[in-house]
Amino acid sequence: MPEGHTIHRIARDHRGWFAGQTIGLCSPQGRFEKESKRLDGNLLQDVTAHGKHLFYHWSPQAIVHVHLGLYGKFRVHKNPAPEPRGAVRVRMIGKERSFDLNGPTCCELINVKQYREIKSRLGQDPLSEDACPEKLWERICRSRSPIGTVLLNQSVIAGVGNVYRAEILFLLGIHPETPSNELSREQFDSLWKLTTDLLKIGVKYNRIITVDHQLFDKPLSRLNSSERLNVYKRSNCRRCGTRIVTLLLGNRKMYACETCQRMNQNS
C-alpha cells in the first residue's frame, strides 16, 4: 500500500496538472458513472492529501475521496488518452493530460461534512501544514502499545507505513517493542522531525530514501532499491552488520537491528 509520501506526491502533481481546469469525467468501468455524470464539465478547484487519503475538491459540497489501498493505481496520459486499460473506475480529462484510476479500495463522492468526518478520524499528518505534534504526543503518552504498532495506526499518525516505521525507529535507535508511553519527550521530538524530514524526501524523489547521502558517491535520485534503506527487508544491518530480526507488530512484519535498537536503552 502506498505510504504518505506517495499520496502527497500524487496530490501535488494532480493539483498542478488539473486544478483550475474544467474537467471531463467518465467511468469506463461503470461503478462511478452516476457521480461522474454529476461532475463532468465542472471546475476542479484543488487536490489535497491527508495521510493515505486523496481529496479532489470540485466545490465545498462535491469532493471525490480516493483511497488506493493495496491495488489502486493511477495511470497518467498525455491527451488524447488511449483506450481504457482494465477496469478503469474513473477517467479524468484535463487540458493536456488525463488519468485513469484502477482498483482503488475507495472512490466516493462526499460532501464537506463527510470530508471533515474522515479527517477527524485520521491522526496527525507530518506533511500537513495544520499538523499538531502536541496532539500526537498526548496520544503516545497515554498508550502502552509498542511504538512499532502505534506508528502504523492511521488514527494516531497518518501516512506512516511499514517501511517508514522500520527505518524511523532504526535511525532513532528505538526498539519497536518499546511501550509508547516510555518514550521521552526528546525521543518524541526527534521522531516527529525525522518522520517529517523523511516524508518530504519521499515526496521530492517519489520513493522512500532513508540512508545518509554521504554513504554513496552519487545523488539520492540515482540510488537503486538495495541502497535506499537501512533495515527494511535487509538480511543484515547496514550500520553494524548484525543480522536483522523480524517481529510481528500491527499484523505486519517489522524489521529491526537488536544491536542498534536495544530495549530501553534511552528510557
By annotation, the residues acting in catalysis are 2-3, 52, 252
Report which residue type is found at 24.
G
| CA–CA gap between residue 227 and residue 238 (Å, rounded) | 9
User: Integer distance in angstroms from the first to the last C-alpha of the chain?
Assistant: 33
Q: Cis ω on the peptide bond leading into residue 80 (within 30° of 0)? A: yes
63, 110 Cβ separation under 8 angstroms: yes
Q: Are 16 and 82 spatial neighbours (Cβ–Cβ below 8 Å)?
A: no
Contact of 87 with 102, CB cutoff 8 Å: yes
* Separation between Cα atoms, residue 200 and residue 209, nearest integer Å: 10
